[in-house]
Structure 1
Amino acid sequence: MGTLIGHVAPGFGFLFIGLWHLFNNTKLYALNPISFSSSQWFPSSKVRYLELYLIMAGSWASIAMELVIGPEKHQPFDDDGTIPSNHLHNFEHATISLSFFIYAAFAIVLDKLRPKAHYELLQLLGAFTFAQLFLLFHLHSADHMGMEGQYHLLLQVVILVSLITTLMGITYQKSFLVSFIRSLSICFIGAWLVLMGFVLWTARLVPKGCFMNLEDGHWVVRCKTDEALHRAKSLVNLHFSWFLVMFAVFAMVFYLAMLRMYSEKVEYWPLGKVDEDGSEDLESQKRNNNHLEDSKSFVSMGKDSNALEMER
């Protein structure tokens, strides 16, 4: 994962899944705001488990890249069978991918067997996956004290939002806001990983006063002075703030657009229904005729009473 493709590829994966969840949750809420109920995953029209299959395939590809394809010896162990220090981060990234693979696999099993509390169990498993992601990024073996560390620190904030909203989803299954924020946070994780991949492994995008240095077999960004490091971290903070603004605007525009497309169409009928040919239906005509007859009889009764009064 400590490469451009190692961040961009899973970043697009998170972004795709997040947008898929955002679309489905908002569509369900727009169509049925009263009976809305969130879900951890959404079936597609042709292949029911397509989302989960993609998660499993992406996780398996990530594990293979970290432990087999990426290392020079095409295996991550040292000659004596131990894990060398320069491959510790490979095992950490592979463990994250394994957690997502387990989540997707059990999601399929729980959907087929439908045991009691299967929704709550899947939410708990999803929370475990995000907890694993947060823990391994927080305790990462790589040196994240510089600019790269600032990117990972802010990434942990977004992962924590995904973890908290997933846990809240166990109790608040019918809360659209909880599912909406969780979907947005997954999108944010993906977009932030893509940005990290390009900024940290593209020489032209490295901030002024910093450079790319090869350490333990992978490239890291180092800064020449403390002032340059402080400036680089401040730029990362600005990137995160701009992303927050961008996602806030995107969330509101997306929500309003989805409501316009899928909201329930309420039809208002006149008191007397009108058929497609423009004529009132039979029942409405009968009711109108009855009202007219009642009013006429009431008027005639009034006239008769006035006549009697005159005779007296």
Structure 2
Amino acid sequence: MNQLLDQARLRAVNLPSSVWSPTPRTLRRWALAAVVVNAGITVTGAAVRVTGSGLGCPTWPRCTPDSFVPVAHPEISPVNMAVEFGNRLLTFVILVVGLACLVAALRLLPRRKDLVRLAWIQPLGVAAQGLWGGLVVRSALNPVTVSVHFLISIGMLAAAVALHTRAGEGDGPPEPLVHRDIRRLGFALVAAVAVLLVAGVVVTGTGPHSGDAVASRFAFDIETVARIHADVVYLVVGLTFALVFALHITRAPAAARRAALTLLGVELAQGVIGYVQYFLAVPAFLVGLHVLGSTLVWICTLRAVYALRSRGPLESTADARDALGSATARA
């Protein structure tokens, strides 16, 4: 236990240097933190919705008309207010992590423009989410605004996964590790999963968990949209199975095969959760679990596609600094 505490203290002490004097490894860690917190807020957002806390803070940017923090309000449950305010606070965690990614990318030597561009998406995405969150509240949880709120998080999650991947590889042009048709299959899979996520938010916006009694719903038949969603699930699983099979018979690199198998496993688990929640009339707990599953499917899909190509090995920090010093001296 003491050893674990000492390690935790050492990491806390090293946090500032990991941002101000970063290495590719520490930047990758911050990118992984961005992946975790962006995935986390999708789950807490689902918790806000299934607990009916979407208007627990009825105004924006304040929580109540008179205060930025929760205060007793005769028309709002303290629990609902605490849940919604807690979700708002998590936005600041994402902002801190996003700024850490950006500063680390800017301070990394030699500077890599692609990493800086990807890192910028995190704080800018938080700003966009904050402004859009105000529209969500002012529209009384209109399902269109709520859906876009989730999809912005999915976009930020994709950027964080890209940053994590790129920070751990070289800066050369992408070299395919598999046949071009397999890569095309991977791209088709990403597109299908994106469609699946959109179909999922339509089902959510039509279903029973609106976030508040006054919130409107999509005027669709829930049975119809659920079946469309299921059809897209079959397409995604079919494409994933095809990818796993193609990688196996072509003896693709082990990392690519593992990534595809992991994706298939996550999809099957997600499918089980989806069917169980449907037949149990969409219980709140399983809704949150299903949202977590959807973010994991998205992350694993992106990881599987990135594993189909290589940009070469990552140059060591020492070598990179020496190269930068030599280039400066020649200049």
Relative to the length of structure 2, the TM-score reads 0.41
| Bigger-Rg structure (1/2) | 1
